[in-house]
Amino acid sequence: MPKRAQKHDSTKHAILDVAERMAREGGYHDVSFRRIADDVGIKSASVFHHFANKEQLGAAMARRYSDRFMETIGDPRDPGTTGEEKLARYIKAFSHALKVDRQMCLCGMLGAEIDSLPKDVANEARRFFNLNIDWLETALTRTGGKTGKKTDIHGKALLVMSALDGALIISRATGDTSHFDQVAEQVSRLV
């Protein structure tokens, strides 16, 4: 039977949850071990038992976010759904961040900060964007019952992701979630 270091890993999860919330509100530089510890209900020294340093915590946080995001949007090759339905699902993931989480997309935030991030954190942010572009290119390959041109699809993927990330920022900055909806509506009509 497999050995396991801990039963539930609940503290590590809780740390990542709090760190993610902080980063999605104020960015990587606004994440603090003390405040994480306070929120989780432990001491900051205990956080270092789970993550060697802030860079590794940041990288784990970004990696977990990316993995969860990719799982949410599903398989871009799923033959059971159309390109339009896949795009709708992608838009829904951003909408969820805005309206349910009421936070930025973590990697959108990290992307904006990219030049100031420790190497491992920056790499995880980069990975998120590359995964998203690939996913969108695959999902948008066939829309309207037709197979599109590769360069067009690449451009559309970039536009979709740019518009949604930007719409998150604008909606949150203006405090008007309908701004996101109006962008999303146009994005979904793009394909």
Partner DNA sequence: GTCTATAATTTGATAGAC
Partner DNA sequence: GTCTATCAAATTATAGAC
Binding site for a copy of itself (CB under 8 A): 25-27, 29-30, 103-104, 107-116, 125-126, 128-130, 133, 154-156, 158-159, 161-167, 169-170, 172-175, 179, 182-183, 185-187
Closer by beta carbon to DNA, 44 or else 141: 44
Binding mask 4-33 for DNA (x = CB under 7 A): -xx--x-x-------------------xxx
- CB of 26 vs a copy of itself, minimal distance in Å: 3
Question: What gap in Å lies between CA 15 and CA 33, rounded to an integer?
Answer: 9
Q: Please report, for residues 62, 85, 97, the alpha-carbon distance to residue 143 in angstroms, rounded to integers and kept in the order given.
A: 31, 9, 26
Token couple for 20: 């993610």
Q: What does 11 bind: DNA, a copy of itself, none (CB cut-off 5 to 8 Å by kind)?
A: DNA
* Positions in the binding site for DNA (CB under 7 A): 5-6, 9, 11, 31-35, 37, 41-46, 48-50, 52-55
